[in-house]
Amino acid sequence: MNTLPSSPRIAFAASDRPDALAARDTLAKRYKSFPVEEADVVVALGGDGFMLEMLHAQIERHAPVFGMNRGSVGFLMNEYGEEDLLDRLSKTVRTIIHPLEMRAWTSDDHIQSGLAINEVSLLRQTRQSAKLRILVDGRVRLEELSCDGALVATPAGSTAYNLSAHGPIIPLNSRMLALTPISAFRPRRWRGALLPHDSEVCFEILEADKRPVSAVADNYEVRRVRKVEVRERRDIALTMLFDADRSFEERVLAEQFTA
C-alpha cells in the first residue's frame, strides 16, 4: 500500500553516468527538489548497483526509493519517464526488503560487520579452491565444501548473483533464504539449500592460511576471513517503490519463466 503524501517532497539522486546526471538535472528543474535528508521519497536515477547504494543510504532514515533506469539491466528499476511523475508516485506499490547482516572474523582476529540487501558471498582469493564447513543454527550441515565460494541470498537478491550461480529464485513473501554453492567441486552434486528466514548460517574456512577467502556483503568486502556468520535483520525494513503495473513481485515471478 502506498502511504506517500499527496504532494511528496522528492529528492533526485543520480549515479555518475552522464545520462543519469542529465536526467537528474531535467527532473529537478521540472519538479521541486529537496535534500535527501528532508525528502519523503528518493528518486534514484541509474542502474541496479546505484539502487542498492541508495537503499543502503536509507537504512537510518527509511525513506522509500523509486528507481528509474538510467543504467544497463535495471531489474530493480522502473522505466524512465519525465511525464506525470507525481501521478506515478501516487500509484506505486511497495516492496519491503530485510537485509542480511554479515559478521566476519579475519585472520588477525578482528571482527567486521556489513549489511547486504542482495547477498553475502564468500569467494576464493587465489587459484586454489576454498574449503568451507557450513553450519546452520549451530549444527554442522556440510563438513567440507570444496568450491569457488558460496553465498546466502535474500528473496530480493535471489535473481542476482544467486541466480547466476544456479540458485533458486525465491518469491518475496516466502520468508526464506537461499544458500547456494559457487562452482562446487566436492560434493559435486550438492546444489544448495532453502532455509527459513530466521536461520543463522555460519561458514568456517578450512585451511584459511593456505586457501584464503574473502567475504562480501553487497559491495563491502573483508579479506582473509576465518569465519563468517550470516543472519537476517528483520528489525531493518527498506522500501522500494514500483509502478503498479510492473511490481517487483511480478518481475520475480516472470523471471522464473524466462528462457
Cα distance between residue 31 and residue 28, in whole Å: 5
Q: In terms of Cα–Cα distance, which of 149, 147, 20 is closest to 72? A: 20
Delineate the domains of the chain, giving CATH numbers in brackets: 10-97+237-255 (3.40.50.10330), 100-232 (2.60.200.30)
191 C-beta neighbours (distance < 10 Å), count: 13
- 19 catalytic? Reply is no
Q: In terms of Cα–Cα distance, which of 140, 146, 174 is closest to 158? A: 174
Predicted pLDDT at 259? 67
Cα distance between residue 207 and residue 215, in whole Å: 16
Predicted pLDDT at 256? 84
Q: In terms of Cα–Cα distance, which of 239, 247, 218, 219 is closest to 42? A: 239
Count of alpha carbons within 13 angstroms of residue 184, beta-carbon side: 20
Predicted pLDDT at 73? 80
The residue from 16, 19, 40, 48 that is catalytic is 48
Identify whether 171 is preceded by a cis peptide bond (ω within 30 of 0).
no
- Say which amino acid occupies 99: P
3-state secondary structure of 34: coil
Give burial (CB, 10 Å; 0-12/13-18/19+) of 77: buried
Terminal CA-CA length for the chain: 32
- What does each of the 259 residues of the chain score in pLDDT, given as a tens digit? 567 887 899 999 999 999 999 999 999 999 989 999 999 999 999 999 999 999 999 998 889 999 999 988 888 999 999 999 999 999 999 999 999 999 999 999 899 999 999 999 999 999 999 999 999 999 999 999 999 999 999 999 999 999 999 999 998 888 999 999 999 999 988 999 999 999 999 999 999 999 999 999 998 999 999 999 999 999 999 999 999 888 888 888 888 887 6
Return all residues near 212 (Cβ < 8 A) that are at least 6 apart.
Answer: 107, 124, 125, 126, 223, 224
